[in-house]
Amino acid sequence: MELNQLTAHELIDKLKDKQANASAVLDAIYSRIEKVEPSVKAYVRVNDVKKPVCNPQPDSLLKGLPITIKDNICTEGINTECCSKILQGFRPPYDATVINKLKKSGAEIFPLKANMDEFAFGSSTENSRYGATHNPWDLESVPGGSSGGSAASVAADEAIWALGSDTGGSIRQPASFCGVVGLKPTYGRVSRYGLIAFASSLDQIGPITRDVRDSSILSQVIFGYDPNDSTSVKQDVPDFSKSLTNDIRGLKVGIPGEYFVEGMDAEVKTIIEEAINKLNSLGAVSQKVSLPHTEYAVPVYYIIATAEASSNLARFDGVQYGWRAKSDNLIEMYKKTRGEGFGDEAKRRIILGTFALSHGYYDAYYLRALKVRTLIKQDFDAVFKDFDCIVTPTSPTPAFKIGEKTQDPLKMYLSDIYTISVNLAGIPAISIPCGFTKKGLPVGLQIMARPFDEAMLFRVAHTFEQNTDWHKSNPKL
Amino acid sequence: MKYQTVIGLEVHLQLKTKTKAFCGCAIDFGREPNSSVCPVCLGFPGSLPVYNKEALNYAIKVALALGCQVQEHTKFDRKNYFYPDLPKNYQISQYDLPLSRYGFLDITADGKPKRIGITRVHLEEDAGKLIHETEASLVDFNRAGIPLLEIVSEPDLNSAQEAFDYLTRLKTIIEYLDVSDCDMEKGSLRCDANISLRPEGIKELGVKTELKNMNSFKGVKDALNFEAGRQAELLESGRAMEQDTRLWDAQKNITVSMRTKEGAKDYRYFPDPDLTVFIIGQEMISGIKDSLPELPGLKLRRFVEEYSLSEYDAGILVSYKKDAEFAEECLKQYPGKDKKNMANWLIGPLLSEANTRNLSLHQLGVNIDELTSLIGFVQRQELSHLNAKSVLTQMLDSGRSAQEIIKERNLLQISDTAELEQVIIAVIRENEKSVNDLKNGKANALMFLVGQVMKKSSGKANPKIVQELIKRRIDNA
C-alpha cells in the first residue's frame, strides 16, 4: 500500500513510529494527483499551485497529516472561491475556525482546494465554474455534491481525508456516491466561522474520511464551541475513541417507513435491507417508525435555504472583493457583476429566495416553512424518545450519469430527499459504505442520532464497519 | 382653514461603546479611513456577527430611561437593500421584536407639560460612509458596525417648537446616561422627521413627508417650520399632497424633494440566522435599572424640594448632568439658609461667564469656597453686586481669592457712618434744589441724592445706609 492509500489513523501511527515522514506522505498524494486528477478533477485551480511542501507544524496529534479543504472554507492566503466566478481571486486574510484548529493540531492544510457546486448549490458537483468532478468508481458518473471534490479526492486516494460542508446532504450524499464515510454534525457542533454561508441555519462543516475511526478523530479536532459563532453551542465533546466499541447489542434502531417508498432504486433498497439485517445480526433491535412530515422536507428546505441564501449572497456585489464587471455607474456595476459572476443555479436560488421573503409572500412561504420545520423536528424528537438511532438509505439512487439531471432541477433536488430532514431538524447523521450495485457503484447507509449524540453514530457505524468489508474496496483508476 | 401639524421623530443615536456592535473593532473617531475594520464589519465571506453585550446594556439603559417596556426576548433581523456603504448589502436591525416599546418623554408645550409617546427603541448597526470624488466614490468602513439606537416617537408632536423641545430633552437624558456623544454635527445623533397637516378637528392623518439631512436641532425646527408652511400653502391651493422624502437645504432654508414613494420599499426582513434569540432576563433588566443615574426629571423635583428653588431655576441647573452635579455641590456647601442666593449666582453671573468663555458651568474651575466667600461679602453688604461680578471675572481669570482682589482694588463698601456723613454733608450742600424737593415730598429726589453720594465714593458707599443717613439728616433739619 502506498502512503496516500492509508487511513489517517494508520498514518498517525506510521509517522509516530518514524516508518514514514510527512513529506513522503505529501509526495505520495502529489504523485497520485498527477496520475488520476486529469480524469477525476477533484481539485480546482490545480495549475495555479506549485508542488506543495511541508510547513513547520506544532507537535500534536495530526502533525504532518495533509487534509483537503472544500473551496467554501476560508484558508488564509489560499484562494477560497466557492467555485464561483464572483469570488474569482478571493484570498481570505483569515482562517476559518476549523482551519485554525487543524493547524493547531499539526495538520497540513493542502494548498489545492476541492471542487464543489457553486456556493454548494447542487447535488452533483456539476455547477462549478471549473467544470464537473468525475466519480472515481465510474468516470461517467457524478461524485454527488455539493462536496463532490472532497469525497472524490478521498475515494481516489488523492487525499487522506477532507472537510466538506453539508446544508441538505452535501457531505453525506457524495460520501455515499463515492463509497467513503461522511458526517454531518449536529447544528452548532462545529463553528461556521469562515465557512462561506449558503444557508446559515442549516450549514455545518464535517469530515469525509476512509473509515469511521478517521471520522471520529477529525471530529474530535474540529468540534467545539466558538465564541466567534453565536450559533455554536457550549456542549462538552466526549472522547469519541471510547465510542468505537464494536458493540451495538440491545440498541434500538428506528426504520422510518416514509424513506422506503416509490422512486427508490430497487438495488439500493435490497442493499439497505441487507445492511439493516446485518445490524440486527449484531444485536441491534430494529423496528419500523414513522416520521410523518417527511414529504414536506424538500419544499420546506428549498424555501428556507434559498431565502437565507438570497440574503447571504447579497454581499457579492463587486465593491470590495472578487469579480467586478466594468461599468459606468453603480446600478450597472451591480447588475453586470452579479449577472456575469453567478452561475445559473445560483441565480435560480437567489430569485427563489428573494421571492419567498418578499412582502405579501413572507407569511405564505417563509413563515409557514419555519412552522413545518418545527413539525419535522418534532417528528424526530418523538422517535428518539424510544430509539437510539434511525437508519435509512443516504440517497434513493447510486451515482447518476454526468448531465443526466442538469436540465431538470426538480429531479436534481429530489436526490437529497433522504438527507434534507436531518439539516432541518439540526440532528447529526453519518453515511457509511454498505454495499455496491451490480455495476459496481457504492451505496451509502445513513444513520441519524439525537442532537449532540455523534458518539452514537460512531458506535453504530464503527460496529457495522468492523463486521463488513465495504469500506476496504477501492475504485480502479 | 386652520390646520394642525402632526410630527413624529426618528432619532438615530451612535452608542459610544468601546467596540462595534457585532465585532471587536475599536470605535475611535478621526482615524485613518478603513483602519478600524475587520472581516466581520467588512462583511467578508464566512465572517459572523457576535453580540456586543455592552451595546445591549446601553440600549436597555436608554429604553428604561424613556419608560419603555423592555422585551425579555429580543432578536435581530436582516434589512435587505443594496448600497455600497452597506458591506453585506443587508443591515442587522430589529423588526417585529424590538428591544423595547411603549415609552414616553415629557416635554413642555405652550408652558404646559405634555407627554410624547415613544413607539420603540431598537438596536441596529451603522453603515459605512461614502466619500464622493470627481473620478469615483470611496467608502470608509470605520463607521460600519457601530451600534446605532433607533428611537421612534409617536406622531404626538404638534409644532416645530415641540419637536425642538423633545430633542433637547432627549439629549439631556442621553447625556445623563453617558451612552452617546449626541453630536448632530458629527453625526452621532441623527434625526429624521415625518410631518403632515390635517384640518383642525379631523382625526385622520394627512399625507406626510419625511424630512432628512438636518444637522442641528435648530435645523430640525427650521425644516419643520418651512415644511408646515409649504404643506399649508399646498393644501390651501387645493393641490394634492404627495408622499415624499425631502432634504433640508440649510443654506437656502428650504426642503427639496428627493424621491416620491410609489409604495413602501420591500426590505425583505427576516430573522438573522447568524444570531440567536437574545434573552434579557428580569435580573438583567433590574440590574440595569438599579444602575441608572438620577434622571433630569427627578433631579429637578428634588432640587425644588430640597433647596426650595423655583422650577424654572432648577430646570436650568439640571439640563447638563455635570453642571447639575457641580450646582448641587455649590448648593450643599453654601452656608446660608436661603439656597436661592447661590442658585441666583449660578444661573446669573456664573452661567454668563461660562457662556462668554464657551465652557459649561462645571468647566469654569470655580473654587466653591471662594465663590461662597464672594457671595458672603455681598450678603454682608460689604460689596456691591456690580463690583462682585467684576471680582468674579477676575477670580476666574487669575485664580486668586475674592478677599485678595477686593482688598487690592479697595472695593469694600463704606458702612462707617462717620466717614459717610462727610460725603453726605458735601452732597447736601451742593444740591440745594434736590434737598428742597425732598422736603416737599418728592421721593425721586432721595434716589438722586443717594446716587450723588455713590458717585463721590466711587461706588463703595453702602447705598442702604446712605439712604438712611440722608433721610435722618433732612428730617432732623
pLDDT tens for each residue of B199-257: 998 899 999 999 999 999 999 999 999 999 999 999 988 887 888 899 999 999 999 98
Chain B residue closest in CA terms to A197: B46
Rounded Cα gap, residues A268 and A271, in angstroms:
5
CA distance B19 to chain A (A): 15
Q: In B, which residues are within 8 Å of A194 by CB distance?
A: 46-47
In this prediction, residue B275 carries a pLDDT of 96
Contact A254, A287 (CB under 8 A): yes
Residue B44 CB neighbours (<10 A): 22
pLDDT tens for each residue of A342-363: 999 999 999 999 999 998 899 9
Q: Where are the domains of chain A?
A: 3-254+272-290+378-472
Given B43, B269, B273, which is nearest A315 (Cβ)? B43
Our CA dihedral for A125, A130, A131, A135, rounded to 10 degrees, sits at -50
Does residue B219 sit in the same domain as residue B355?
A: no
Q: Of the candidates B408, B430, B465, which is a domain's last residue?
A: B408
Question: Which class for B302: exposed (0-12), middle (13-18), buried (19 or more C-beta within 10 A)?
Answer: middle
Does residue B83 sit in the same domain as residue B187?
A: yes
pLDDT tens for each residue of B310-322: 888 999 999 889 9
Q: Is A35 tagged catalytic?
A: no
Q: Is A415 tagged catalytic?
A: no
Q: Do A357 and B275 touch (CB under 8 A)?
A: no
Q: Do B89 and A314 touch (CB under 8 A)?
A: yes
Q: Of the candidates B287, B310, B325, which is a domain's last residue?
A: B287
Does residue B129 sit in the same domain as residue B207?
A: yes
Given B48, B84, B266, which is nearest A230 (Cβ)? B48
In this prediction, residue B477 carries a pLDDT of 63
The b-or-e profile of A276-297 (16+ CB within 10 A means b, else e) is bebbeebebebeebebebbebb
Q: In A, which residues are within 8 Å of B144 by CB distance?
A: none
Q: Tell me, what CATH number does B469's domain have?
A: 1.10.10.410
All cell numbers assigned to B58: 446601553
Q: Do A314 and B80 touch (CB under 8 A)?
A: yes
Domain count for chain B, please give it.
3
**Catalytic residue chosen out of the listed positions A70, A101, A103, A405:** A70
Q: Do B84 and A330 touch (CB under 8 A)?
A: yes
pLDDT tens for each residue of A93-137: 999 999 999 999 999 999 999 999 999 999 999 999 999 999 999
Given A94, A308, A316, which is nearest B273 (Cβ)? A308
Does residue B254 sit in the same domain as residue B223?
A: yes
Confidence of residue B467 (pLDDT cuts 50, 70, 90): confident
CA distance A196 to chain B (A): 4
Does residue B343 sit in the same domain as residue B439?
A: no
Of B38, B41, B44, which to mutate for an interface test with A (greatest number of A Cβ within 10 Å)?
A: B44
Q: Do B46 and A229 touch (CB under 8 A)?
A: no
**ipTM for the whole complex:** 0.95
Position with higher pLDDT, B148 vs B430: B148
Question: Which residues share a beta bridge with B148?
Answer: B14, B124
In this prediction, residue A59 carries a pLDDT of 83
Rounded Cα gap, residues B267 and B247, in angstroms:
22
Does residue B132 sit in the same domain as residue B22?
A: yes
Task: Check pLDDT > 70 for residue B72.
Answer: yes
Does residue B30 sit in the same domain as residue B167?
A: yes
Does residue B142 sit in the same domain as residue B173?
A: yes
Q: Of the candidates B260, B287, B314, which is a domain's last residue?
A: B287
pLDDT tens for each residue of A293-340: 999 999 999 999 999 999 999 999 999 999 999 998 899 999 999 999
Does residue B78 sit in the same domain as residue B171?
A: yes
Does residue B218 sit in the same domain as residue B147?
A: yes
| Domain that residue B104 falls in | 3-287
A200 has a chain B CB within 8 A of its CB: yes
pLDDT tens for each residue of A378-412: 999 999 999 999 999 999 999 999 999 998 888 88
Q: Is A146 tagged catalytic?
A: yes
pTM reported for the whole predicted model? 0.90
CATH of A3-254+272-290+378-472, one of 3.90.1300.10, 1.10.10.10, 3.40.630.10, 3.50.50.60: 3.90.1300.10
CA distance B89 to chain A (A): 5
Does residue B49 sit in the same domain as residue B153?
A: yes
Does residue B231 sit in the same domain as residue B338?
A: no
Q: Do B46 and A193 touch (CB under 8 A)?
A: yes
